Amino acid sequence: MEDGSIRIKQERYNKVFITIIPFGAFFIALFLGAVLIFLAGINPWEAYNYMLYSIFGNLRLFSEVFTHFVPLIFCALSFAVAFKGGFFNVGQEGQLYFGALTGALVGIYIQGLPAFIHIPLALLAGFIGGAFWCWIAGILKIKLGADEILNTIMLSYLSILLINFIVMYFLKPANSYISQSEKIARSAYFPKIIPNTQINLGVILALLIAIIVYIFLFRSPAGYEVRAIGENLEAANHAGINIIKGTMTVIIISGGLSGLAGTSIVMGTQYRLIPALSPGYGFEGIGAAVMARNNPLGIILTTFLFAFLRVGAGAMQRGVGVPLPISWAIEGIIMILVTASEYLSNKISANLIGGRA
Amino acid sequence: MVQEIILSLKEITKIFPGVIANDHISLDIFKGEIHSLLGENGAGKTTLMNILYGLYKPDKGEIIFKGEEVKIHSPRDAINLGIGMIHQRFMLIPRFTVFENIILGQPSEKPPLLEKEKLHEKILRVAERFNIKLDLDVPVENLSVGTQQKVEILKALYQGADLLILDEPTSVLTPQEAQNLFKDLLALKEQGCTIIFISHKLKEVMQISDRITVLRDGKVVGTKKKLETNFQELSKLMVGREISFTIKKKDVQPGREVLCLEDISMKNKKGLRLLKNISLSARSGEILGIAGVDGNGQRELADAICRLQKIDSGNIKMLGQEVSSSSPRRLYEQGLSYIPADRKRYGLILNFTIAENLILKDYYLPPFKRGLFLNVPYINDYSKKIIVAYDIKTPSHLVQASKLSGGNQQKVVLGRELSKCPKLLIVMEPTQGLDVGACEFVHNKLLDERDKGVAILLFSTDLDEIMSLSDRIAVIYEGEIMGEVDPRKADVGEIGLMMAGVKYLEKEVVDG
């Protein structure tokens, strides 16, 4: 399908080559990981085998992969959209928490709605919460030219501590000792797709939204505008594109996606707001997005990989005694090598098209 | 007359992946001559010189310098041999003084001491010998581009160069500065320096050289003595076909007034006046050329008309309507096209495909949009048509704009801006950095538009371009219009004076 896209399609031979390279890098990373495991005095073959079999052989562990997958993919998409629009949102973690708060409020305090209204309503609230938190950094950038990298990070700390405080002093039931809110209404729970597992509506939602984001970016006029601004602000301005409006669109979407990450944890896993909601999904999501070159479809793959490794790390520790830090190191090596390999494939594709004298 | 050969290149070959940049190039340079390397962009001139300067390693071939075969592995080797290169972009540190820039990178004779006075003396002696007048204690950032170039030349001479390579030295200079450079080069030649002058501008090459070697597609297609050749022959060698130098222009038939500027002024944030009381008008079917040295308010004026910058006072009317309440987008919809000067920065999104760049101003309008989505099949067909109509050389419409040559990039911009049938066209530096063939193409397209009845405002620092295309010429200096002349009657000297700030007193009314 030659006419399927207005993005560049490499000629076939170098396209195949370029697709192979990141996978090659991935396997080299696994090999280096094996060396690390070996140095820790454990048989790497056994460790990797155990990881694979325990996850694919156990429905509970397998479904746990999806509890990580859903928030991760939202965070990665959040970073990718903003990046494409030239806005460096690295405050996914904080926006996640704020979206969890607003989503949870709708889940807890609105009662008696049917699920098909309550669920979208809570999701919308979560989207708005995350979008609002990102908007603060955005308006600071647009009005004052303040650096968004710094502001989104700082706002993350603020958000996490704020939610901590709100849960402790306002949402905690008076008779409880544990710092957590009440449960959200049943009608706001994500329905399970496979009973007795964590595979719920959130998974479908996440995949659907990844595809929507892809279509938005590459097939819609608004997404075109966003990419034009991100690639060359001056040219976009000269072309008559409204830069402020476009940047605002990006900020709202990016923040909203992070908000959905938080809401999806509340509605799919925890069913209540707790202070330690995210074990760093925001930051890991950025890694997954970078590894996928901010392509929403690639992000589906990379976030799944990260979620898998997260569960696998726990399994390897329990089963064969691979220390967690070694698993983290393996994850880091994969990220570095795959990302670096992209520069290599870029270089190769440039050379094959022909250098210019 | 037997002349001593100072440098001889034998069968130099350099292959980049996918392209042969230098294909068995053999070349002799005589001592004390000015030898030009002429060729279009991408002909391999710069690659060849980078090999000579040790920046690239040749795949094949040998270099014989002053009678001995040499291997040049780095610029340091080249400098030690006495080869100096003045790059297109200067390699100076703006905050350092001229003196500091010249001694930069030179080992001190008595480390760790730096004998400033002694070195100062030494530089002055070199400058005196070659008759270069420079104040050594001024920071380089305060100097004009032409003077900065002098610093580069003095630096090379101080390092002991007797073979100087100048890569497109006039591309950054005003016409006057270029003439000064030529004077300096001739003086250097008197002193026994050998100069290799790289250029794609025929006129300069004919003015300055003793001999000219023409490169095309990485091969030497001929070496000529200046006295035995002419424009026609050189251009034919360079492009591979005949080029007409006289632009055929129909008589001007101006129609109604399309653009009217009344008393426009603009200040920057510091209160400095960027535009002063500019009044101009452009009618359909004519080209109004705006001549001036770069940075005299041209960009501000163009941006003001497109509402990309706000004016402080005055009126701008397009097609009889006040534009002050419009957005750029509204104006583009009403028939304004703007081709900005720096196409890579303002005109194109380099990482976008050709197709994506072609819809940069229309992506939100049907038929490019269908419902909520981009109409991809239509966009693809449309792009293919434009590529054919504007002769854009590319394997596909899905190639990134960054991968195209300058000429083809400009054709993408032209294709986008002209295919929507503008009524008013603002063009800035349309041929900057383009080779002869592409220039000819752009000029013809502009004249076609004029004949179709478009009002064209042509901003250019290239006086030849202004003279040959315009029906009227206004000269801008420090944001002020110095006067308006008829190109058929005016002479270059007169316009040159206005470009330098001398007002044209006896304003004549020019009509078509």
State whether A231 and B349 contact (CB < 8 Å).
yes
> Vertex A85, ends A79 and A88: CA angle to 5°?
45
Task: Quote the pLDDT of residue B508.
Answer: 46
Q: What is the pLDDT of residues B350-383, one digit of tens each?
A: 999 999 999 999 999 999 999 999 999 999 999 9
Cβ under 8 Å to A: B residues 218-247: 218
Give the pLDDT confidence score for residue B97 in this predicted structure. 92
Say what the pLDDT of residue B243 is.
Answer: 61
- B113 inside 8 A of chain A by CB: no
Max avg pLDDT among A117-131, A327-341, B104-118, B458-472: A117-131
Distance from CA of A281 to the nearest CA of B (A): 30
A13 or B22, greater pLDDT: B22
Cα–Cα distances in angstroms (integers) from residue A41 to residues A45, A229, A323, A328, A331, in the given order:
12, 52, 11, 17, 19
CA pair distance B61, B99, nearest whole angstrom: 38
What tens digit of pLDDT does each residue of B69-110 get?
Answer: 999 999 889 999 999 999 877 788 989 999 999 988 777 777
Closest Cα in chain B to A350? B403
Domain carrying residue A134:
69-300
- Looking at the predicted structure, is the pLDDT value of residue A100 above 60? yes
Residue B414: pLDDT over 90:
yes
Place of tokens 């590319």: B394
Torsion sign over Cα B107, B110, B114, B115 = negative
Tell me if A261 sits within 8 A of A74, measured CB to CB: yes
Classify residue B71 by burial, with Cβ atoms within 10 Å: 0-12, 13-18, 19+.
exposed
Q: Where residue A2 falls among pLDDT bands split at 50, 70, 90?
A: very low
Contact A355 B17 (CB under 8 A): yes
| Residue A243 contacts B, CB cutoff 8 Å | no
Residue at A284 is within a domain: yes
Cis peptide bond upstream of B367, omega within 30:
yes
Q: By the CB < 8 Å criterion, does B410 face chain A?
A: no
- Report CB contact under 8 Å: B363, A221: yes
Chain centroid offset of residue A76 CA: 3
Out of A234-238, A285-289, B299-303, B430-434, least confident range: B430-434
Which residue of B25, B363, B397, B409 to mutate against A (max A Cβ within 10 Å)?
B363
pLDDT at B216: 86
Q: What does the pLDDT read at residue A12? A: 52
- Residues of A whose CB is below 8 A from B348: 232, 235
Inter-chain touch B42–A356, beta carbons under 8 Å: yes
Contact A228 B352 (CB under 8 A): yes
Please check whether residue A48 lies inside any domain of the structure: no
Q: pLDDT above 90 covers what percent of chain B?
A: 46
Residue A217: φ, ψ to 5°: -65, -45
Architecture of domain B5-239: 3-Layer(aba) Sandwich (3.40)
**A192 and B CB contact within 8 Å:** no
Q: For residue A216, give the chain B residue with the closest CA.
A: B373
Q: What phi, psi does B508 have (nearest 5°)?
A: -105, 145
Give the closest-approach CA distance of B16 to chain A in angstroms.
6
Structure-token match 């004949």, residue found: B451
**Residue A254, CA distances (Å) to A137, A155, B294, B398 in order:** 12, 15, 42, 28
Query: Within 13 Å, how many C-alpha atoms sit on residue A30's CB side?
Result: 14
Q: How many DSSP H helices and E strands does chain B contain?
A: 16, 22
* Chain A environment of B347 (Cβ under 8 Å): 235, 238
Q: Are A263 and A277 in contact (CB under 8 A)?
A: no
Give the confidence band of A195 by pLDDT, cuts at 50, 70, 90: confident
pLDDT digits (tens, 9 = 90+) for B180-214: 899 999 999 988 899 999 988 888 888 999 999 99
Establish if A231 touches chain B: CB-CB under 8 angstroms. Answer: yes
Rounded Cα distance between A155 and A140, Å, is 12
Range(s) of chain B covered by CATH 3.40.50.300: 5-239, 247-335+421-507
**Is the CB of residue A40 less than 8 Å from the CB of residue A323?**
yes
- Looking at residue A185, what DSSP letter applies? P
The reported pLDDT for the residue numbered A4 is 42
What is the sign, positive or negative, of the torsion defined by CA atoms of B394, B396, B397, B398? negative
8 A C-beta contact, residue A95 and residue A134: yes
Q: What is the mean pLDDT of chain B?
A: 87
Tell me, what's the pLDDT at A3? 41
Tell me if chain B has a CB within 8 Å of the CB of A356. yes
Beta-bridged to residue B455, according to DSSP, are B424
Which residue, among B242, B179, B248, has the nearest Cα to B207 in the 3D structure?
B179
**CB proximity A346 to B under 8 Å:** no
DSSP, collapsed to helix, strand or coil, labels residue B222 as strand
Cβ contact A6–B350 (<8 Å): no
pLDDT digits (tens, 9 = 90+) for A138-164: 999 999 999 999 999 999 999 999 999
How many angstroms from the chain centroid is the CA of residue B468?
Answer: 17
Residue B247 confidence (pLDDT): 67
pLDDT for A164: 94
Q: Quick check: B162 pLDDT over 70?
A: yes
Closest CA to B474 of B460, B493, B453, B454: B460
Q: Work out how many domains chain A is built from and give that number.
A: 1
Chain B neighbors of A346, CB-CB under 8 A: none
- Per the CB < 8 A criterion, the answer to whether B152 and B89 are in contact is no
Q: CB A224 to CB B356 under 8 A? A: yes
Nearest to B403 among A6, A241, A353 (CB): A353
More confident residue, B365 or B217: B365
pLDDT at B512 over 50: no
Position with higher pLDDT, B411 vs B90:
B411
Terminal Cα-to-Cα distance of chain B (whole angstroms): 55
The two tokens of residue A345 are 């494939």
* Tens-digit pLDDT profile for residues A305-317: 999 999 999 899 9
Report whether pLDDT(A8) > 50: no
Q: What is the pLDDT of residue B114?
A: 78
Closest chain A residue to B306, measured at CA: A238
The burial class, CB within 10 Å (0-12 / 13-18 / 19+), for A312 is buried
DSSP run (H or E) holding B70: strand B68-70
Q: Is B361 exposed, middle or buried (0-12, 13-18, 19+ CB in 10 A)?
A: buried
Higher pLDDT, A246 or B478: A246
User: In angstroms, what CA-CA distances link B361 with A81, B4, B311, B338, B465?
Assistant: 22, 59, 24, 11, 28
Q: Does the beta-carbon distance from A238 to B218 stay under 8 Å?
A: no
Average pLDDT over residues B274-282: 93
Q: Is A209 exposed, middle or buried (0-12, 13-18, 19+ CB in 10 A)?
A: middle
Answer whether B297's CB lies under 8 Å from B478's CB: yes
Q: Tokens 């939202």 — which residue? A: A74
Interface residue A219 vs chain B (CB under 8 A): yes
Query: d(Cα B25, Cα B10) in Å, to the nearest integer?
Result: 6
pLDDT at B249 (0 to 100): 76
Beta pairing class for B5-16 and B336-339: unpaired
Mark which residues 342-361 of B lie under 8 Å from A by CB. Answer: 345-353, 355-356, 359-361
Residue B221 has pLDDT above 60, yes or no: yes
Residue A142: inside a domain: yes
Q: What letter represents residue A120's amino acid?
A: P
Name the phi and psi angles at B8, rounded to 5.
Answer: -140, 125
Strands lying side by side in the sheet with B83-86: B83-86, B163-167, B194-199, B34-38, B211-216, B219-225
Longest Cα pair distance anywhere in chain A, in angstroms?
76
**Residue B388 at interface with chain A, using a CB cutoff of 8 Å:** no
Minimum distance, in Å, between the CA of residue B408 and any CA atom of chain A: 13
What is chain A's mean pLDDT, rounded?
89
Count interface pairs A-B at CB distance under 8 A: 113
CA neighbor of B359 nearest in space, from B323, B401, B404, B308 = B401
Angle in degrees, CA B339, B340, B345, rounded to 5: 125
Q: What is the C-alpha separation between A304 and A307, in angstroms, rounded?
A: 5
Would you say residue A354 lies in a domain?
Answer: no
Residue A357, pLDDT score: 30
Residues with Cβ within 8 Å of A54's Cβ and at least 6 positions away in sequence, in order, are A61, A312, A315, A319
Q: Are B484 and B452 in contact (CB under 8 A)?
A: no
Q: pLDDT value at position A174?
A: 84
Name residue, tokens 């010249």.
Answer: B102
Reduced to 3 states, what is the DSSP secondary structure of residue A241? Answer: coil
Tell me what pLDDT residue B245 has: 59
CATH number for the region B247-335+421-507 comes to: 3.40.50.300
Does any CB of chain B come closer than 8 Å to the CB of residue A225?
Answer: yes
For residue B379, the model assigns a pLDDT of 96
By the CB < 8 Å criterion, does B366 face chain A?
no
Say if the Cβ atoms of A237 and B42 lie within 8 Å: no
Is residue A353 scored above 60 in pLDDT?
no
Quote the CA–CA distance of A158 and A163 in Å, as a whole number: 9
From the CA of B252, how many Å to the nearest CA of chain A? 30
Place of tokens 């230098």: B22
Cα radius of gyration rounded to whole Å, chain B:
25
Tokens of A80: 């990718």
- Give phi and psi for B397, each to the nearest 5: -75, -5
A120 CB contacts (<8 Å, ≥6 apart)? Answer: none
Q: Of A274-278, B233-237, B238-242, where does mean pLDDT reach its minimum?
A: B238-242
A12 lies within 8 A of chain B by CB = no
Q: Give the model's confidence band at B229: pLDDT under 50 very low, under 70 low, under 90 confident, else very high.
A: confident
Digit-coded pLDDT (tens) for A207-223? 999 999 999 999 999 99
- Residue A12 is assigned to a structural domain of this protein: no
- Rounded to the nearest angstrom, the minimum Cα separation between B458 and chain A is 17
The proportion of chain B whose per-residue pLDDT surpasses 70, expressed as a percent, equals 96
In a domain, A122, yes or no: yes
Place of tokens 């030690």: B80
